Structure 1
Amino acid sequence: MTTFDDLKLYVLPGCPFCAKVDAFLDKNDVSIEHLDVTQGTNGDDLVRIGGKRQCPCLLIDGKPLYESGDIIDYLAGRLGTQAPAQEAAAGGACTFTPGGGHTCE
């Protein structure tokens, strides 16, 4: 298993775009710390870091990367592999609301 200790992935339960990133991670046997935006201060932390309530968000050296397709492309580059064609072409994210719920883009 490959572990990227320098990355953190903010996720929202039920978000299909977060699931898409997780599927890529699983397929490539990669482990990244996940931070659930519905738990503790994770949602507020994400807004403070990136200025918006959007998941998935990959935190790279303290800088946010949004959109599932962009995240998958970045991770594929780190792994030295190519992102699947359908993943590379499609982005996507969800906006979460405090207290629950989300809107998919």
Structure 2
Amino acid sequence: MFIIRWVLGRIILFFDFIFSPSKPKRAAQEQAQIDASTEHLSLYQLPACPFCVKVRRAIKRGGLNIELRNINQNENYRAELIAQGGKKTVPCLRIVQEDQTVNWLYESSEINQYLQQFVR
């Protein structure tokens, strides 16, 4: 099973690389405003997860700068996701509100829908 998942993961990464969307061209000031509005977001993800690829493509298509946290490369990210988010499922968007409360959004379609508010 591991070999099948590994091969499929590499195929997903290959096609994601080949058909990667381009970032929108924006004025520096407009991009800085968008960056400021998304600095409180972090995406917990795995590189070859198809649902994570879906979210990363939406992030790139929207020109959003969101911190990507690979839970396989950093044990602290994985532990934080499980302890605070409640489960080890990716993709997961960590949203820090203005009052410093943290919300965790797990479904790729819901994450993409949430991110649409930052795209102008």
What TM-score, normalized by structure 1, do the two folds share?
0.70
- Structure 2 distance, partners of 1:21, 1:48, is 23
Q: Which residue of 2 aligns with 1:57?
A: 92
Shift, 1:77, TM fit = 2.1
What one-letter code is carried by the residue in structure 1 that aligns with 2:56? D
Q: Deviations over 1:38-61 (max 9, x none)?
A: 122111110011110100000112
Q: Which residue of 2 aligns with 1:89?
A: none
Q: Which residue of 1 aligns with 2:116?
A: 76
Q: Secondary structure at the match of 1:59?
A: strand
Q: Which residue of 2 aligns with 1:17?
A: 51
Shift, 1:74, TM fit = 0.3
Are 1:58 and 1:66, in contact at CA under 8 Å, matched by a contact in 2? Answer: yes
Larger strand fraction of residues: 1
Determine what percentage of the aligned residue pairs are the same residue: 36
Rg: which structure is higher?
A: 2
Gapped regions of structure 2 (runs ≥ 5): 1-30, 97-101
Q: Which residue of 2 aligns with 1:33?
A: 67
Larger helix fraction of residues: 2
- Structure 1 distance, partners of 2:118, 2:106, is 16
Q: Secondary structure at the match of 2:72?
A: coil
How many pairs align? 80
- Structure 2 distance, partners of 1:48, 1:12, is 18
The two structures, once aligned, show a CA RMSD in angstroms of 1.3
What TM-score, normalized by structure 2, do the two folds share?
0.62
Q: Deviations over 1:56-84 (max 9, x none)?
A: 0001122100110000000002335xxxx
Q: Secondary structure at the match of 1:8?
A: strand
Are 1:49 and 1:63, in contact at CA under 8 Å, matched by a contact in 2? Answer: no
